[in-house]
Amino acid sequence: MLKPNAHYAELKDSYLFYNISQKVKAYAEAHPGARLLRLGIGDVSLPLCGAVIKALHEAVEDQAGRDFHGYMPECGAPFLRKAVAEHYRRHGAMISDDEVFISSGASDELGDILDLFDRESTALVMEPAYPAYVDANVMAGRKIIRLRSGIENGFLPSPCGDAKADLIYICSPNNPTGSVFDRAALRKWVDFANENGSVILFDAAYEAFIEDPGVPHSIFELEGAQTCAIEICSLSKTAGFTGTRLGYTVIPKLLVRGGMCLDDMWVRNRTTKTNGVSYIIQKGGAAVFTGEGQKQIKENIGVYKQNARVLMNALNKLGIRYCGGRNAPYVWLECPGGMKSREFFDFLLEKAQIIGTPGSGFGECGEGFFRFSCFGSPEDTEEAADRLLRLLR
Ligand code: PLP
C-alpha cells in the first residue's frame, strides 16, 4: 500500500494565524461600520511601477508574433541573469551571470533548494522566524535546531556551540523582527559556516529596504561567503511582485560539499524539475534593474518606509521598546504592560480596531512581542498611529 510522507503529521497547524483571521472576520461581521486598520499583512499594497508595466506590455506584444518565445531556459533568461548579476556587482558582490538562477519567488526556492541536501542533515533556524524555514524541513524529515534570540541581543544571535548545523538559515533584514545583521555580525556567521562545513541559506527578500551603509545587501559582499552560502531573493517586496511572481537564487561555483558543486547540481535540478519562468514576467523583472525601474521602485519603498517612521514615532512617544522599521518594512514591538502576544492582539482589535500579528506565531521566543507591517496605506498607518497614541498614552 502507498505510504504518505508521515512527516506531514509532525507539522504544527498554523492555528494561530487561522484563528486570527477567523477572529477578524467575526469582528468585522459583528461591527459592520468599523474601520479596521490592517497592519498584519505581509503583502504589498502599491501597484507595479510604470517601467515594469511598460515592459510587461511590450513582452505581451512580443508573444503576439513580433518576437515570439516558447520554452525559456530552465535556469533563467540570459538577459535577466545578466541584469541580476550586474545588480550584485554594483553592491560589490562578484557574482557571474551563470551563478544566478531565476525563480518564481523565494517561497518556491526555499522549499525546492532542500533537494540539494541529504535528509539526515540538520537545519538551524534562528527564532523568531519566517515559518516556512521550519515547515519545509519538517516535511523533509530533517532535524531542526532552534536558536532563540531576544531583545537582549537585538534579535540577532551570534554563532555558538549550540548552533552547529549543516544548514543555517539567516534572514536579514528579518521577517518578523525587522532587525539586520551588520557586516561584523554576518562575518561571524560566514566564518562559523566555513569552519564547520555548513551551508548558509541567506534569505534576502527585504534587501531593498536597507538604508544604513554598514549593512550588507547580500551575503556575497563578505569575503568567504562564496564557499558557504546560497542566497535566495525575490522581487515580491522589492518591486511589488507578490502576485506577479519572480525571484532569483545565487549559488556560487565555489560552493562545493562532498566533492559536488552545488551550482552544477542546481542546474541539473532545474533542467529536470522546471521549464523556466514565463518570458513576459522575466521581461517585467528585467525592467526593475534599469535606471528608471530602480528610481520608481525606490519611490514605492519610500512610501512603506514613511509608514514605518509614522509607527516608530508613535512607539517612541509611548515609550514602547521595538526593533526594525529602519532597514525593514516590519516594526517588532514589546507588548505593553507585560501582555502576551495574543492578549495584545485581542486588546488592539477590540479597543482600536487595529490588526497586527502576534509574535508568538513566529516561535516560542516571539511570545510577548507583536509585529506591525508597513505595507498598508499611509492613511491607515497614520490613523493606526493616532489610535495607538489615544489608547496607550
Ligand atoms: N522570505 C521571507 C522572509 C518572506 O517574508 C517572504 C514573504 O513574505 C518570502 C520569503 C516569500 O517571498 P515570495 O513572495 O518571493 O515567495
Chain segment 298-322, per-residue pLDDT in tens = 999 999 999 999 999 999 999 999 9
Burial status of residue 36 (CB atoms within 10 A of its CB: 0-12, 13-18, 19 or more): middle
The answer, yes or no, to whether residue 15 has pLDDT greater than 80, is: no
| Model confidence band, residue 12 (pLDDT cutoffs 50, 70, 90) | confident
Q: Does the pLDDT at position 73 exceed 70? A: yes
* 335 CB within 6 A, ligand 1: no
pLDDT tens, residue by residue, 337-353: 999 999 999 999 999 99
Q: What is the mean pLDDT of residues 279-288?
A: 98
Output the pLDDT for position 7.
Answer: 94
pLDDT band of 19, cuts 50, 70, 90: confident
**Ligand 1 centroid from CA 110, angstroms:** 9
Q: How far apart are CA 310 and CA 302, in angstroms?
A: 12
> Exposed (0-12), middle (13-18) or buried (19+): which is 299, by Cβ within 10 Å?
exposed
179/177 Cα distance (integer angstroms): 5
Residue 249 has pLDDT above 90, yes or no: yes
Name the helix (H) or strand (E) containing 219.
none
Does 25 have pLDDT greater than 80? yes
Helices of type H across the chain:
15-30, 50-61, 78-90, 106-112, 132-139, 183-196, 236-239, 262-273, 279-288, 291-318, 341-352, 378-392
Confidence of residue 189 (pLDDT cuts 50, 70, 90): very high
Average pLDDT estimate for 36-47: 94
Residue 42: pLDDT band (50, 70, 90) is confident
Question: Considering the chain, what percentage of its residues have pLDDT values greater than 90?
Answer: 95
Rounded distance from Cα 340 to ligand 1 centre (Å): 26
| Per-residue pLDDT at 369 | 98
User: Ligand 1 atom 1: the closest Cα is on which residue?
Assistant: 205
- pLDDT bin (cut points 50, 70, 90) of residue 66 is confident
Domains of the chain: 13-48+293-392 (3.90.1150.10), 50-289 (3.40.640.10)
Q: What is the atom index within ligand 1 of the atom nearest the CA of 175?
A: 3
- CA–CA separation, 324 and 307 (whole Å): 12
Binding site membership of 280 for ligand 1 (Cβ less than 6 Å): no
| Mutation to probe ligand 1, out of 107, 135, 170, 203 (largest number of atoms < 8 A from CB) | 107
pLDDT of residue 119: 94
* Residue range 216-236: mean pLDDT, rounded: 98
Contact assessment for residue 352 and residue 391, using Cβ atoms and an 8 Å cutoff = yes
Which atom of ligand 1 has the smallest separation from the CA of 235?
15
Q: What pLDDT score was predicted for residue 262?
A: 98
What confidence category does residue 70 fall into, taking pLDDT thresholds of 50, 70 and 90?
very high
The closest-lying atom of ligand 1 relative to the alpha carbon of residue 234 is 15
Statement: residue 17 has pLDDT above 90 = no
Do residues 269 and 115 touch, judged by C-beta distance below 8 A? yes
